[in-house]
Structure formats: structure tokens, C-alpha cells
Amino acid sequence: MTGLATRLREATREEHERTEQAPFVDALLAGRLPRSAYVRLLGQSYLFYRVLEEAGASWAADRVVGSFVSGALVRGPSLEADLAWLCGPSWHASLTPLPATKRYIDRIREVCFTTRSAFVAHHYTRYLGDLSGGQIIRHKLRGIYDLHDDGLRFYTFHEIAKPKRFKDSYRALLDGTSWDAGEQTTLISEANEAFRLNRAVFDDLAETVGVEG
């Protein structure tokens, strides 16, 4: 019988690929945008990671999904450090959510504090992506924007020495958790919604910096 992790990956493949191919991402990784566009991405990311990580803290002691919550994954402090280095100590003063970011935050608040499977869906799409494609992004941005450790801490997981091993353990946890049929359906559906919400943020960023779709 196919495990949940495999079914989740296959069921979200289309939305995942569409998100990865968003025009903003393509332009950023091709070096066609100024560093300020990358800063905008970090700022919007900070806003929704902050809420997702609040949800994670609320589930940390839960007997069913608490094992998914790991301090090694937390991105908030890294994003704060990157933004402070790139923009100065007052970086947060002008940080305003784009419309799509607000919708993303609203969805996290709506489902991730009350529904275990929905929380794991959003957790999965964000952090496994950071540990996978995020590492490729880090190496590309390093060369494009002449960044080193500073400015790229968001993509650096100092407490995870072997990302592949961590991801394998995460997928095993997905398979080993006792989800009922309804929870599995919710998890897959919400993971697809998370990818769509993420892509909408990219679309708003594209409009903000003048990238045409």
C-alpha cells in the first residue's frame, strides 16, 4: 500500500511545479531583479512564517502532531537576521503584507491552530521545500547578489547536518502517524491550497516589481 508521504507528493506535484515556475521566481533566480526584490520576498515570508510558527508552538505538546514541530526548522529568527542585515535595524517599520500575503496569513490562522492535518499540510509545504529547493535557491542567490552567510540565513539550517536524512524521517513520520481517511483528505487538499497561496504571493511580488506573467 502506498504511504501517505508518497501520495501527498504525487497529489501536490502539479501545484508544486506551478509554484516553482512562477514568473517572479524565474526572474529572481535568473538575476533579472534587483536585490530589493529579494528583500521584498524575505519580508513577506517573515509575515507568514511568524504565524505558522505560532501555530507550531501551539501544537508542540500534542501527542499526534507534536513530533512534526522542531526547533531546528524555525525560520523566524533567521529571517529577522537577514532583514536586519539587508535593511538595517528598522526593517520592520515599513513591512506591510501584500494582499496575497494577508490571505495566506488569514488561512493559516483559520485552520492551522485548530486542525492537526491542516497544520501539517502547511508545515510540510514550507519546511520540506526549504530543505529541498531552498538549498538550490541559496546557492544561486549567493552568486547573483554577492551574499554570503548574512542575507541567506533563511535558507541555512545549522542544526540539520544532513537534510536528506531529516526529510526521510519527516516522510516516515507522515506515514507513521495515525491519520483517519478524512484527515488524509484534508492534509492533501490543504497542502495544495498552501501551494496556491504561496504562488499568489509570488504573483503579487511580480506585480510589485514589474515582472510580467
Residues in the chain: 213
The number of distinct structural domains making up the chain is 1
All residues at 6 or more sequence positions from 92 whose CB lies less than 8 Å from its CB, including other chains? 83
CATH number of the domain that 11 lies in?
A: 1.20.910.10
Euclidean distance between CA atoms 124 and 130, whole angstroms: 10
Q: Is the pLDDT of residue 213 over 70?
A: no
Give me 47's grid cell: 509575515
Give me 154's grid cell: 533563511
Residue 23 placed within a domain: yes
Per-residue CA distances from 64 to 23, 38, 58, 79, 172 (Å): 38, 36, 13, 29, 14
Residue 213 placed within a domain: no
Query: Where residue 148 falls among pLDDT bands split at 50, 70, 90?
Result: confident
* Percent of the chain whose predicted confidence (pLDDT) is above 90: 90
Instruction: Supply the pLDDT for residue 82.
Output: 96
The per-residue pLDDT for range 22-73, each reduced to its tens digit, is: 999 999 999 999 999 999 999 999 999 999 999 999 999 999 999 999 999 9
Euclidean distance between CA atoms 54 and 109, whole angstroms: 9
Q: Is the pLDDT of residue 133 over 70?
A: yes
| Structural domain that includes position 188 | 4-207
Question: HSE of 132 in the Cβ direction (CA atoms, 13 Å)?
Answer: 11
Residue 53 placed within a domain: yes
Residue 124 placed within a domain: yes
